[in-house]
């Protein structure tokens, strides 16, 4: 299975990004890629304006152009975009609620979006809405992004892939569930923010999730904006680059740097079965024990 990972630097211009996406779907297919993977938010980068003003439904022009391009070139594309979700309210206290309690006073309406991965290929179209919103490091993605409520696996080139987005990488159970559903390759589009220690965290987490699930893991990162002298600082919020392919044994097969580039990797999904037989972490995972049965909580020891 050949996978083309497009580490791009999205602009605050949907049409410009769409042109780049269509170009790389075509070139990836021409190079024999079964799967062309773009970063989270490839449609429009974070921190460049309201997401609800650029969000489009899956039958809108952005998604339809991606679908048509992928089908025209006979490959499958995974593209990060934003789709409309719901309307909630921000109370005077700053909380986001679906309904205003009586007597709460005036509140601002907030049109939330889904952080969506569009998956389009010759055999059909599906999507995954990011489940774990990035409410960390002082950022609250859930204020403007509604969390998804379903995991998604899809077959590409006779191989089942599982979908995750950026912050999902911090939740091992997500990847174990995808593997239990048959996924042998985890695809993780990301827009991982730069900052002290963030690259080390990214490398550790991507390797750990491949090992947890005994799967290949292929992550497409947004390129790091700005000049090289700012690498490692927290002023490049839309990406850190370092797209990566990791084997089911945790081996780092290939990794990019900070700048925009294309990473093409060939993997053998049949290796996953051998690894899972050798290290049966999925079969041996215990989910039937409550605290007090398989573990005890002692205080004051």
**Positions marked active-site:** 40, 130, 166
The answer to whether 1 and 267 are in contact (CB under 8 A) is yes
The answer to whether 42 and 80 are in contact (CB under 8 A) is yes
The Cα-based distances of 273 to 119, 175, 241 in angstroms read 25, 16, 30
The angle that helices 172-180 and 198-213 make with each other, rounded to 10 degrees, is: 30
Beta strands in 27-181 (DSSP E): 35-37, 76-90, 96-97, 108-121, 124-129, 135-136, 139-140, 153-156, 159-163
Distance CA 221, CA 255 (A): 10
Element housing 2 (H / E): strand 2-7
At residue 36, φ and ψ (nearest 5 deg) are -120, 120
């Amino acid at each position: 299975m050949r996978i083309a990972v497009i580490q791009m630097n999205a602009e605050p211009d949907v049409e410009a990004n769409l042109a780049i996406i269509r170009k790389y779907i075509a070139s990836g297919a021409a190079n024999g890629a079964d799967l062309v993977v773009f970063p989270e938010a490839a449609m429009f980068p974070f921190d460049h304006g309201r997401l609800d003003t650029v969000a489009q439904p899956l039958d809108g022009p952005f998604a339809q152009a991606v679908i048509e391009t992928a089908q025209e070139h006979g490959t499958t594309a995974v593209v990060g975009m934003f789709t409309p979700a719901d309307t909630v309210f921000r109370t005077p206290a700053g909380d986001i609620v679906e309904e205003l309690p009586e007597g709460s006073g005036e509140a601002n309406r907030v049109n939330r979006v889904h952080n969506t991965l569009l998956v389009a290929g010759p055999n059909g179209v599906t999507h995954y809405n990011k489940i774990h919103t990035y409410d960390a490091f002082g950022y609250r993605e859930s204020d403007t992004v509604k969390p998804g409520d379903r995991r998604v696996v899809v077959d590409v080139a006779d191989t089942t892939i599982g979908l995750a987005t950026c912050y999902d990488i911090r939740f091992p159970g997500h990847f174990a569930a995808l593997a239990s559903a048959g996924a042998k390759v985890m695809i993780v589009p990301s827009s991982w923010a730069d900052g002290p220690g963030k690259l080390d965290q990214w490398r550790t987490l991507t390797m750990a999730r491949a090992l947890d699930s005994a799967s290949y893991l292929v992550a497409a990162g947004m390129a790091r904006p700005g000049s090289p002298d700012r690498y490692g600082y927290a002023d490049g919020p839309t990406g850190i680059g370092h797209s990566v392919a990791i084997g089911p044994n945790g081996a780092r097969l290939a990794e990019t740097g900070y700048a925009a580039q294309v990473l093409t990797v060939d993997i053998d999904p049949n290796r996953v079965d051998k690894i899972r037989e050798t290290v049966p972490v999925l079969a041996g995972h215990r989910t039937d024990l409550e605290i007090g049965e398989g573990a005890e909580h002692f205080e004051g020891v």
